[in-house]
């Protein structure tokens, strides 16, 4: 049996619902053999996930999903096999989280002007100890009964042009790739099909990404349709990039896809794990 890889998933350390340990147990129960925990801008869930992985006999890849601004757009760069003890990475992510909190306060002010008081406090309560994301605002507005589900909250309040949207400067693309690479990790463009870049910008992104040391793109992800698997497999080949696969799981009932059910990478792809020593003999 080939190994079941899921190299993109979230815990309650960012906007997922399950704790790191519960996420690992859940993945193991769903047949995943190799799981990457890739919380947004935060790596503090990795030790607990690692301990749980040993107990559940699955391999845990230390990961992160870094928010990046490129050409005024937000992109996500996943780092796989990063070193959670790397100080430069820890420090840079801590700064991103401080700025993320300031952005959340501004989002709260925008929503207050639209007649929704105390949204920052509400979102912060739901985020508990974790980073604060638009998802927490969405959950709070649903809790208030203002909107029926988080998807509708995004549409009505949290995207460009809406009262809770704040233009934000995330990390620079080059810095994110270098931090990941210098901590021993592999940089991967998350869900490239989601950015609506147009073909010229997509080609420029792939070119720049590679020139800064980026290694792979997600080809199979819950954000892509099967024709997009083929489209991005072709682009990966064209740019000599490896291919990754991940569910981008956020928790039971709120994810596009169940864990452990990813399609295989198209056969012309070079898997991102191809030269990871621990899987050499097991493919």
Which chain residues interact with ligand AMP by CB under 6 A? 15, 40, 67, 133-135, 150-151, 154, 250
CA gap 242, 223 in Å, rounded: 18
Minimum distance from residue 194 beta carbon to ligand AMP (Å): 9
Tokens found for residue 192: 């490239």
- Is residue 158 part of the contact set for Mn ion (CB under 5 A)? no
Question: Which lies closer to ligand AMP via its Cβ, residue 187 or residue 233?
Answer: 187
Q: Which does 39 bind (CB under 5 to 8 A by kind): Mn ion, ligand AMP, none?
A: none
Indicate whether 248 belongs to the interface with Mn ion (CB under 5 A): yes
Q: For ligand AMP, which is the closer residue by CB, 36 or 233?
A: 36
The maximal CA–CA distance of the chain, rounded, in angstroms, is 59
Q: Is the dihedral of CA 119, 123, 125, 130 positive or negative?
A: negative
6/103 Cα distance (integer angstroms) = 31
Comparison of 35 and 135: residue with beta carbon closer to ligand AMP: 135
Position 39 contacts Mn ion (CB under 5 A): no
Residue 204 C-beta: closest distance to ligand AMP, Å:
23
134 touching Mn ion, by CB under 5 A = no
**Tokens encoding 227:** 């024709």
When the beta carbons of 4 and 150 are compared against Mn ion, the nearer one is 150
Which single residue brings its beta carbon nearest to ligand AMP?
133
d(CA 43, CA 106): 25
Across the strands, what pairs with 66? 77
Identify the residue among 21, 37, 173, 190 touching Mn ion (CB under 5 A).
Answer: 190
Helix axes 87-113, 173-182, angle to 10 degrees: 140
**From the list ligand AMP, Mn ion, none, partner contacted by residue 130 (C-beta under 5 to 8 A by kind):** none
Contact between 5 and 33 (Cβ < 8 Å):
yes
Residue 154 interacting entry, from Mn ion, ligand AMP, none, C-beta within 5 to 8 Å by type: ligand AMP
134 binds, among Mn ion, ligand AMP, none (CB under 5 to 8 A by kind): ligand AMP
Return the structure tokens found at 41: 């801008």
Task: Decide if 62 contacts 37 (C-beta within 8 A).
Answer: yes
Task: For residues 193 and 191, give the distance between their C-alpha atoms in angstroms, rounded to a whole number.
Answer: 5
By Cβ distance, which residue is nearest to Mn ion? 76
Q: At what angle do helices 87-113 and 134-143 cross, to 10 degrees?
A: 40
Among 26, 35, 76, 218, contact with Mn ion (rule: CB under 5 A): 76
- 256 CB burial (10 A radius; 0-12, 13-18, 19+): exposed
Give the shortest CB-133-to-ligand AMP separation in angstroms: 3
- 67: partner contacted, choices ligand AMP, Mn ion, none (Cβ within 5-8 A by kind): ligand AMP
Q: Which one of Mn ion, ligand AMP, none is in contact with 46 (Cβ closer than 5 to 8 A by kind)?
A: none
- Answer for which of 4, 11, 15, 186 binds Mn ion (CB under 5 A) is 15
Conformation bin of residue 180: beta by default, left when phi > 0, alpha when psi is -120 to 50: alpha
Q: Which of Mn ion, ligand AMP, none has residue 190 at its interface (CB below 5 to 8 Å by kind)? A: Mn ion
Using CB under 5 A, list all residues that contact Mn ion.
Answer: 15, 65, 76, 190, 248
């Amino acid at each position: 049996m080939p190994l079941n890889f899921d190299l993109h998933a979230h815990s309650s350390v960012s906007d997922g619902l399950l704790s790191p340990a519960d996420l690992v147990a859940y993945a193991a129960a769903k047949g995943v053999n190799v799981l990457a925990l890739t919380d947004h801008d935060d790596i503090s869930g990795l030790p607990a996930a690692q301990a749980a992985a040993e107990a559940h006999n699955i391999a845990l890849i230390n990961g992160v999903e870094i928010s990046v601004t490129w050409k005024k757009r937000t992109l996500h760069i996943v780092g796989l096999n990063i070193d959670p003890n790397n100080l430069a990475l820890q420090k840079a992510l801590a700064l991103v989280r401080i700025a993320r909190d300031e952005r959340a306060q501004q989002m709260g002010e925008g929503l207050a002007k639209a007649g929704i008081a105390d949204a920052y406090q509400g979102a912060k309560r739901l985020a508990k100890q974790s980073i604060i994301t638009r998802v927490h605002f969405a959950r709070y507005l649903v809790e208030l009964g203002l909107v029926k589900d988080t998807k509708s909250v995004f549409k009505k309040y949290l995207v460009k042009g809406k009262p809770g949207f704040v233009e934000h400067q995330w990390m620079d693309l080059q810095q994110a790739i270098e931090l990941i690479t210098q901590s021993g990790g592999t940089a991967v463009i998350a869900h490239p099909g989601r950015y609506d870049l147009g073909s010229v910008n997509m080609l420029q992104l792939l070119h720049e990404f590679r020139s800064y040391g980026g290694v792979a793109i997600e080809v199979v992800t819950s954000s892509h349709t099967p024709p997009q698997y083929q489209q991005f497999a072709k682009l990966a080949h064209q740019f000599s990039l490896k291919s990754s696969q991940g569910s981008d799981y956020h928790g039971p009932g709120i994810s596009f896809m169940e864990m452990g059910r990813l399609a295989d990478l198209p056969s012309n792809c070079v898997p991102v794990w191809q030269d990871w020593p621990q899987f050499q003999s097991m493919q």
